[in-house]
Amino acid sequence: MIGSEPITMSTRKASSFDKALARVCVNCPVCRNARRRQGGAAVWLVSQVESKLCPFCRAYERVYGRKAHVAAVNRQSSSLGRTPPKA
């Protein structure tokens, strides 16, 4: 251990290898489904497996700063072929 604080996922800088692993998670059909739908079996599976077994999900968290099953950002509704909700 260097210094007084241990290296944690939140303080560790993502390497180029981490970015390559995270790209696999970005393209993973199970993780994509979990991020898109935010419910169901895919979210349960990814949330249970990601921090324990999957190196791609762990790399995704290091690179993007959020869990692999958490939705990235709110996309514009028009890009999804839907009309935006009325206020």
Structural domain total, the chain: 1
Predicted confidence at residue 1, as pLDDT, reads: 47
Domain span at 39 = 16-70
Residue pair 57/25 in contact by the 8 Å Cβ criterion: yes
Predicted confidence at residue 6, as pLDDT, reads: 44
> Taking the model in full, what pTM does it have?
0.63
Task: Please report whether residue 75 resides in a domain.
Answer: no
Task: Please report whether residue 5 resides in a domain.
Answer: no
Task: Please report whether residue 38 resides in a domain.
Answer: yes
Task: Please report whether residue 56 resides in a domain.
Answer: yes
CA distance readout (Å), 32 to 7, 29, 41, 53, 55: 29, 5, 13, 18, 16
5-52 pLDDT tens trace = 444 455 567 778 888 989 998 898 888 888 888 888 888 888 887 778
